[in-house]
Amino acid sequence: MSFNFDNSYATLPEHWFEKSKPTPLKDTHLISFNAPLAQQLGLNPCDWTPSKLVSAFTSETLLEGLDPLAMKYTGHQFGVYNPDLGDGRGLLLGEHLSPDGLRWDLHLKGAGQTRYSRFADGRAVLRSSIREFLVSEAMHGLGIPTTRALAIFGSEQYTMRNGAEPCAMVLRVTPCHIRFGHFEYFYYSRQHDDLQLLADYVIERYYPEFQQATNPYLAMYQEVVKRSANLVALWQSYGFVHGVMNTDNMSIIGESFDYGPFTFMDRYEPDHIANKNDHQGRYAFSNQPSMMQWNLAALAQSLLPLIPKEELEKVLEGYAELYFNAFYAQMRARLALPGSGLEHRELIDQFLNLLAELGGDLNRAIRLLVEEQPLGDAIGIQEGAADAFSDWLVRYQEAKQREPSSLNSRVETAKSKNPVYTLRNYMCQEAIRDAQDGDYRKVNDLLALVREPTKFSKSMAEYAGTPPDWAAGIMLTCSS
């Protein structure tokens, strides 16, 4: 099957976007193609040669049926409203209907300047493109809602970031590119009819079950709050730091979206800041749940023309309960504990406090605990870490052995949630280093690895262990 385009967003009012075609890069070439995702879209990967992919998605001619556009939106960046945002380096190429009836956005990141580029060049560099390409598949492998990427393209064109860097493009795939910032744009520009039209479009496309609700807009907001709480709970349970939780980076369907200076922490540090441009630590790891609530409050503000204030406030007040239920349920499952997550809250909190105090590795420690393997330095790098951990370990084993009839199934469930491999920054850095020298093998090797993170690979065994010492010196910024 070929692509089946039906570009619904392009039929909306013209002032919502700018029609624009990609500006090709010099000597564009394919770096990696996500064949399993292609199959999910109903495509035969064997039909898509590298040259065909380059021509179809990165050239001025494009594949027939695509109708590229740059979306207009706004948002709060580090807590400050910015009215001048939009797709400044990306284009929504079109929408594909897969054989199972699902609608998928195809979005080209790094496609060149648009009306919303402001003073930027509209390009993405190879470094950040590789990171997004890999992490989106890593998140999918962990079961965390995320955008994905069908392909990454390199080029012989350079732009200035951290010195001269090679340009690249990522072909992103997701059901939805609508952000909290889309609603903020219409609210703050007082285009309330357009705000309602946007809400109707979102409900029809993503939440059709709410069309018959007493207040469909309230039902939509309730679901966005629920999905967002579940998303950040998953981030916290795997030690993932987004880095730039601005409202223009928040998906209306609760996916991880717009990856920048992300980090899966090598050592559990509650106050870890992934983005070195975040001087105040607004988006530090421990702040992510409250920052998600802040973003949801900003979305609620934008929905005031459609939903009574007191009803929005009531929904938002329930966020904390949704988050804690989701977080402790996930941690309970990962630790193979019986019962509900909240009944183990004290035990789980003690575990996390010990990891923070001792410098432990969250994902390695959980996996080794469940598999009853020696913990080694996974529980900490401080002297005497094992002794400090021993009392907690006794309590954990007692809790785990409760309800012995379900123990085996709990352990198997935990193994399906506990990665052997976590996409560390140093792994991305190695792939970037090789790619900048024209060697893309590590990009493709890591893509296969993170796609099935719970499956041990003998040839990639080094990535299951302790990160190298130099990994601690990696610095990430908004350009990452």
Which pLDDT tens digit goes with each residue over 9-43?
999 999 999 999 999 999 999 999 999 999 999 99
pLDDT at residue 442 tops 90: yes
Per-residue pLDDT of 187-198, as tens digits, reads 999 999 999 999
Note whether 195 and 202 are within 8 A (CB).
Answer: no
Residue type, 30: L
pLDDT at residue 115 tops 80: yes
Sequence-ordered alpha helix ranges (H) in 276-361: 288-302, 309-317, 319-334, 345-358
**Distance (Å, whole) CA 442 – CA 122:** 27
Residue type, 429: Q
Q: What is the pLDDT of residue 479?
A: 79
Q: What is the pLDDT of residue 439?
A: 98
Across-strand partners of 171?
A: 108, 151
- Over range 377-400, report the average pLDDT: 91
Give the DSSP per-residue string, 286-309.
Answer: GGHHHHHHHHHHHHHHHTTTTS-H
Tokens of residue 471, six digits: 């990994």
Note whether 333 and 413 are within 8 A (CB).
Answer: yes
Q: Cα angle vertex 437, ends 433, 440, to 5°? A: 75
Per-residue pLDDT of 141-151, as tens digits, reads 999 999 999 99
Q: What is the pLDDT of residue 381?
A: 83
Helix axes 180-188, 192-206, angle to 10 degrees: 160
Residue type, 311: E
In the residue annotation, 248 being an active-site residue is answered as: yes
CA dist list (Å): 150 to 33, 106, 136: 6, 9, 10
Rounded to 10 degrees, the C-alpha dihedral 181/182/185/191 comes to -150
Q: What is the pLDDT of residue 480?
A: 73
- Over range 241-269, report the average pLDDT: 97
Note whether 442 and 434 are within 8 A (CB).
Answer: yes
The dihedrals phi and psi of 448, each to the nearest 5 degrees, come to -65, -35
The dihedrals phi and psi of 360, each to the nearest 5 degrees, come to -85, 165
DSSP-derived letter for residue 210 is G
**Distance (Å, whole) CA 401 – CA 297:** 42
- Other CB atoms within 10 Å distance of the CB of residue 266: 23
- Over range 84-111, report the average pLDDT: 97
The dihedrals phi and psi of 160, each to the nearest 5 degrees, come to -90, 120
Per-residue pLDDT of 446-469, as tens digits, reads 999 999 999 999 999 999 999 999
Per-residue pLDDT of 288-325, as tens digits, reads 999 999 999 999 999 999 999 999 999 999 999 999 99
Sequence-ordered alpha helix ranges (H) in 371-436: 385-401, 407-417, 425-436
Through-space distance between the first and last CA atoms of the chain, rounded to whole angstroms: 36
Q: What is the pLDDT of residue 1?
A: 62
Q: What is the pLDDT of residue 338?
A: 98
Pairing mode of beta strands 163-174, 148-161: antiparallel
Note whether 169 and 152 are within 8 A (CB).
Answer: yes
What is the band of 223 on the pLDDT scale with cuts at 50, 70, 90? very high
pLDDT at residue 165 tops 90: yes
DSSP-derived letter for residue 60 is S
What is the band of 214 on the pLDDT scale with cuts at 50, 70, 90? very high
**Distance (Å, whole) CA 426 – CA 423:** 8
What is the band of 384 on the pLDDT scale with cuts at 50, 70, 90? confident
Burial call 430-450: b when 16+ CB within 10 Å, e when fewer = bbbebbeeeebebbebbbebb
**Distance (Å, whole) CA 144 – CA 227:** 11
Give CA 266 to chain center in angstroms: 18
- Over range 64-78, report the average pLDDT: 97
pLDDT at residue 178 tops 80: yes
CA dist list (Å): 418 to 145, 302, 334: 16, 38, 6
Note whether 326 and 345 are within 8 A (CB).
Answer: no
Q: What is the largest CA-CA distance in the chain?
A: 66
Q: Provide the strand spans (E) within 78-217.
A: 80-82, 90-97, 103-109, 124-125, 148-161, 163-174
**Distance (Å, whole) CA 61 – CA 21:** 9
What is the band of 364 on the pLDDT scale with cuts at 50, 70, 90? very high
**Distance (Å, whole) CA 209 – CA 211:** 6
Catalytic residue, candidates 194, 248, 361, 377: 248
**Distance (Å, whole) CA 362 – CA 417:** 13
User: What's the mean per-residue pLDDT of the chain?
Assistant: 96
**Distance (Å, whole) CA 55 – CA 167:** 17
User: CB-based contacts of 89: which residues, under 8 Å, 6+ apart?
Assistant: 109, 110, 111, 112, 113, 114, 117, 120, 121, 122, 123, 124
**Distance (Å, whole) CA 140 – CA 147:** 8
